[in-house]
Amino acid sequence: MGDFFSNLSLGFGVALSLQNLGLAFLGCLVGTLIGVLPGVGPIATIAMLLPITFGLDPVGALIMLAGIYYGAQYGGSTTAILVNIPGEATSVVTALDGHQMARQGRAGVALGIAAIGSFFAGTVATLVIAALGAPLTGLALVFGPTEYFSLMVMGLVFAVVLARGSILKAIAMILVGVLLSTVGTDLETGEERMTFGLPFLADGIDFAVLAMGIFGIAEIMRNLDHTEHRDVVRQAIGRLLPNKDDFRQSYKPVLRGTFIGAILGILPGNGAVLGPFASYTLEKKLAKDPRRFGRGAIEGVAGPESANNAGAQTSFIPLLTLGIPPNAVMALMVGAMTIHGIIPGPQVMTKNPTLFWGMIASMWVGNLMLLIINLPLVGMWVRLLKVPYRLMFPAILMFCAIGIYSINSLPTDVMFIGLFGFVGYVLIKFGFEPAPMLLGFVLGKLMEENLRRALIISRGSMETFIERPISAGLLAVAAILLVIALLPSIRKGRDEVFTE
Amino acid sequence: MSVLHEGSEPSRHRGPVRAPQSLAGGLLLIALAALALWLTRDLDQGTLNAMGPAMLPRWLAIGVGLSGLALLAAAFLKNGDLLERWSLRGPVFVIGAIVAFALTIRGYSFGSFGIPGLGLLVAGPLAIILGGFATPEARLRDLVVLALSLTPFCMVLFGDLLNLPIPVFPQALTGLFPADWSQKAVLRACAAIMAVAAVVVFLATRNRRRGPIDVADHSGRI
């Protein structure tokens, strides 16, 4: 317990320095600014804004990136409530009741409760991370290559089960992602694999390039196919602070949402995406009058938004303790950390405690910033939402190009975002979801490395994965999950959860 | 590409294909797997004890190919989604804009033929204006104003404030300014000129464009 407080105070000492406070503020502000644009999710936002953190020291850069992430998340909710265009999967649920509230002239209250719920959830999640960080890091030291490999297999199975649409397609996407990660020089033998003899492919495909192409450029192409229909709320935003009644109705959903979101967020393989759905379904089940849901029930905003934010934060846990990114956003964080010379994993906490605890403390600071920034600035976001897409997307396009060029100063990188953008567009059109592919890509290199090591240790025996108890347990969980997901009755339920 | 167009339209009448989207997806995966297998054909697979460079890619490619085959089979057995409608205009202009940016930002040479490095000053507006035409609703005047105002903003933000190593203007341009001006000074001067140009274009074309639109609007309402 003493450790817990001394660690947190070390963290706050770092996060509350004037420079880092400023960076957290700036990160939240620009994150919200870009994230609020319809059709730009957190992944594209982070990829686009990555270069502006290059000049900073690692601690400052990560604090700013975390701020950008929360800002983008909150910006997505704002768009969902005001325009009914959810920027990403997790804010789909917010759009259901949030937009209805906005149409009833209660947009301010919806935004207010979303911010307050998120802040509460963020506070709890920060404490959870601080409490679990040290013990889980200890766990990581027990893990050998065999266990790491099995854990990543389990994470990928999670991602398959949680992906929308056909399971077969999700599996195919994961395999393609891992396959893409093997492009480039083989680390063990030094031989080039699938590079077409091109020198810029020798180091492999750059993650930021792939992510920007698939989530930034492909999204633009897809949005252009749909004739624009933007339903910006015309009613007044109304007062922002919820009144006593609103609070009475929403404090329990906030508590439950925080709990659900925090637990699901820890799971590897993008568990966080399930939080808002689970919270919404639970609130609807518990409500005295479930018919109010979908017609502007404040519980339908308070619960899922809290779950969303709690999950967004606890998904840092697998990354910071085990070095395994659980979703695409965290994968971008890995990329950002590597650029600043930090390899995420259990050693970060021991070798670099100011960075580790400073970042955790800055998560709380970031949440507070969001509350302070967003409520007074709502009017500005509304105005931004009225910019027509035909002017917005060329600007996004140029920012993407500048952003990706400045990472490596390579014009070929810029061309590759065009190529991957087109690939992503084709995949979307064929009904494949690109997110699992990106996760497969991120975990691919780590998986191959650990697989090789595990097999060298076991002298080429595959049985090592079931002989070692932890590894066997993880693989068993993965197998059970996959079987359950394939059962017809569960599959129907899963489809319902996602279409609701 | 051609497969898509064949598969998309007549699917409703032609019996065997019941899920064109799965058919196309399956073919794509099989093609990808075949490409990966072909590319790794000369590499050593090694043994489980000492994995060679080709071991993992080859098995992954086989996995991708099998998923593709399963999707292909499903396309004939189960009813599924039709292919969505697509347009070529969006991807063509968006990719065109990206390639134009990539070619002009630092210059590029294809053997004897070369493009000089023109920097953000040219690459930025090129990307915005070319990319802007990806939508049929594009208006040249709006795009020009956007390009002339966003580019100086980015030049100052990335080149001046953040000091990113991004070429901002063609080297030839320094000759136009007094010799003792620093790179930063030239950058700021260029940005200022562009910003002024944006305002001028905006003001000069405002009335002319508004007139006819207003008329159309009124006549539409009556």
* Residue B50 in this model has a pLDDT that exceeds 80: no
Per-residue pLDDT, A308: 87
Per-residue pLDDT, A280: 86
Per-residue pLDDT, B210: 47
- Nearest 10 degrees: CA dihedral of A423, A425, A430, A431? 120
**Domain co-membership, B200 together with B146:** yes
Give the closest-approach CA distance of A469 to chain B in angstroms. 21
DSSP string, A406-432: HHH--HHHHHHHHHHHHHHHHHHHTT-
Residues of chain B numbered 177-206 and touching chain A (CB < 8 Å): none
- Compute φ and ψ for B167, nearest 5 degrees: -60, 130
- Whether the CB-CB separation of A431 and A166 falls below 8 Å is answered with yes
Fill in the DSSP letter of residue B84: P
**Domain co-membership, B112 together with B133:** yes
- Whether the CB-CB separation of A313 and A265 falls below 8 Å is answered with yes
Within 8 A of A218 by CB-CB distance, chain B residues are none
Of B77, B106, B125, the residue that ends a domain is: B77
Distance CA B190, CA B168 (A): 10
Q: Answer whether A455 sits within 8 Å of B70, measured CB to CB.
A: no
Within 8 A of A401 by CB-CB distance, chain B residues are 97-98, 101-102, 105, 123, 127
DSSP string, A337-386: HHHTT---SHHHHHH-HHHHHHHHHHHHHHHHHHHHHHHHHHHHHHHHHT
Residue A462 C-beta-side C-alpha neighbours within 13 Å: 4
Tokens of B207: 């009335």
Q: Answer whether B165 sits within 8 Å of A409, measured CB to CB.
A: yes
Sequence spans of domains, chain A? 2-499
> Which amino acid type is present at position B73?
A
Q: Which of A499, A10, A76 is nearest to A309 (CA)?
A: A76
Give the closest-approach CA distance of B138 to chain A in angstroms. 6
Within 8 A of B134 by CB-CB distance, chain A residues are 220-221, 224, 393
Number of separate domains in chain B: 2
Distance CA A52, CA A45 (A): 12
Among the partner-chain residues A186, A397, A411, the one whose CB lies closest to the CB of B102 is A411
Give the closest-approach CA distance of B126 to chain A in angstroms. 9
Q: Answer whether B39 sits within 8 Å of A194, measured CB to CB.
A: yes
Give the closest-approach CA distance of A492 to chain B in angstroms. 16
* B83 part of a folded domain: no
CA distances to A159, A319, A494 from A315, in Å: 13, 7, 22
> Which amino acid type is present at position A109?
V
Q: Which residues contact A407 (CB under 8 A, 6 or more apart)?
A: A50, A51, A54, A206, A208, A339, A413
Q: Residue B55 — very low, low, confident or very high, per pLDDT cuts 50/70/90?
A: confident
Q: Answer whether A431 sits within 8 Å of B25, measured CB to CB.
A: yes
Which three-class secondary structure state does DSSP give residue A437? Answer: helix
Q: Residue B15 — very low, low, confident or very high, per pLDDT cuts 50/70/90?
A: low
- Angle, vertex CA A356, rays to CA A138 and CA A353, nearest 5: 80
Distance CA A442, CA B186 (A): 42
Mutation target vs B (from A48, A56, A149, A176; most B CBs, 10 A cutoff): A176
Per-residue pLDDT, B130: 92
Give the closest-approach CA distance of A458 to chain B in angstroms. 8
Beta bridge partners of A185: A192
Within 8 A of B53 by CB-CB distance, chain A residues are 186, 188-189, 191, 193
* Residue B9 in this model has a pLDDT that exceeds 50: no
Q: Quick count: other Cβ atoms within 10 Å of Cβ A500?
A: 14
Within 8 A of B26 by CB-CB distance, chain A residues are none
Q: In chain B, pLDDT over 70 holds for what percent of residues?
A: 85
**Number of H helices and number of E strands within chain B?**
7, 2
Among the partner-chain residues A193, A217, A425, the one whose CB lies closest to the CB of B40 is A193
* Residue B67 in this model has a pLDDT that exceeds 80: yes
Within 8 A of A389 by CB-CB distance, chain B residues are 135
- Whether the CB-CB separation of A219 and A41 falls below 8 Å is answered with yes
Higher pLDDT, A234 or B208: A234
Q: How far apart are the first and last CA of chain A?
A: 43
Distance CA A478, CA A455 (A): 20
**Which domain covers residue B68, as residue numbers?**
2-77
Beta strand pairing call for A192-193 and A184-185: antiparallel
**Domain co-membership, B106 together with B33:** no
**Domain co-membership, B48 together with B103:** no
* Residue B3 in this model has a pLDDT that exceeds 70: no
Per-residue pLDDT, A460: 79
**Domain co-membership, B71 together with B127:** no
Distance CA A94, CA A79 (A): 10
Within 8 A of B5 by CB-CB distance, chain A residues are none
Q: In chain B, pLDDT over 90 holds for what percent of residues?
A: 15
**Domain co-membership, B121 together with B188:** yes
Distance CA B1, CA A61 (A): 43
**Domain co-membership, B139 together with B30:** no
Per-residue pLDDT, B23: 87
Per-residue pLDDT, B93: 92
**Domain co-membership, B10 together with B66:** yes
**Domain co-membership, B69 together with B168:** no
Residues of chain B numbered 154-173 and touching chain A (CB < 8 Å): 154, 158, 162-166
Distance CA A176, CA A169 (A): 10
Of B43, B77, B111, the residue that ends a domain is: B77
- The tokens 């960076």 sit on which residue? A23
Per-residue pLDDT, B111: 67
Per-residue pLDDT, B221: 37
* Residue B31 in this model has a pLDDT that exceeds 90: yes
**H or E, element range at B108:** strand B108-110
* B222 part of a folded domain: no
Of B77, B97, B125, the residue that ends a domain is: B77
**H or E, element range at B209:** helix B183-221
Asked if B106 reaches chain A (Cβ–Cβ under 8 Å), the answer is yes
Tokens of A20: 């880092």
Per-residue pLDDT, A209: 87
Per-residue pLDDT, B161: 79
Within 8 A of A194 by CB-CB distance, chain B residues are 36, 39-40, 57
Within 8 A of A55 by CB-CB distance, chain B residues are 162-164
Q: What is the average pLDDT value for chain B, to the nearest integer?
A: 78
Among the partner-chain residues B40, B90, B128, the one whose CB lies closest to the CB of A395 is B128
What ipTM is given for this predicted complex? 0.82
Q: What is the pLDDT along chain A (500 residues), one digit of tens a residue?
A: 567 788 888 888 888 888 888 888 888 888 888 888 877 778 888 888 887 887 788 888 888 888 888 888 888 888 888 877 766 667 778 888 888 888 888 888 888 888 888 889 989 998 888 888 778 777 777 888 888 888 888 888 888 877 777 888 889 999 999 999 888 888 777 788 888 877 778 888 888 888 888 888 888 888 888 766 666 666 667 777 777 888 888 888 889 989 988 888 887 766 677 888 888 888 888 888 878 887 888 888 888 889 988 888 888 888 888 888 888 788 888 877 877 878 777 777 778 888 888 888 888 888 888 888 877 787 788 888 778 888 888 988 888 888 888 888 888 889 999 999 999 999 988 888 888 888 888 888 888 888 888 888 888 788 888 888 888 988 998 898 888 877 765 666 555 555 54
* B84 part of a folded domain: no
**Domain co-membership, B65 together with B101:** no
Distance CA A383, CA A385 (A): 5
Q: Answer whether B71 sits within 8 Å of A461, measured CB to CB.
A: no
Distance CA A468, CA A404 (A): 43
Which three-class secondary structure state does DSSP give residue A86? Answer: coil
Q: Answer whether A394 sits within 8 Å of B97, measured CB to CB.
A: yes
- Whether the CB-CB separation of A250 and A256 falls below 8 Å is answered with no
Among the partner-chain residues A189, A388, A455, the one whose CB lies closest to the CB of B48 is A455
Fill in the DSSP letter of residue B46: B
Distance CA A70, CA B38 (A): 44
Give the closest-approach CA distance of A430 to chain B in angstroms. 5
Fill in the DSSP letter of residue B47: -
Per-residue pLDDT, B1: 40
- The alpha helices in B120-182, defined as continuous H runs, are 120-132, 140-154
Distance CA A443, CA A436 (A): 11
Distance CA A208, CA A78 (A): 26
Q: Which of A364, A367, A257, A261 is nearest to A312 (CA)?
A: A261
Distance CA A205, CA A215 (A): 16
- Whether the CB-CB separation of A275 and A307 falls below 8 Å is answered with yes
**b/e sequence A105-125, b meaning 16+ C-beta within 10 Å:** bbbbbbbbbbbbbbbbbbbbb
DSSP string, A158-205: HHHHHSSS-HHHHHHHHHHHHHHHT-EE-TTT--EES-TT-GGGTT--
Higher pLDDT, B119 or B100: B100
* Residue B65 in this model has a pLDDT that exceeds 90: yes
Within 8 A of B42 by CB-CB distance, chain A residues are none
Q: Residue B11 — very low, low, confident or very high, per pLDDT cuts 50/70/90?
A: very low
Q: Which of A238, A186, A236, A180 is nearest to A209 (CA)?
A: A180
CA distances to A156, A274, A320, A367, B35 from A494, in Å: 17, 11, 30, 32, 34
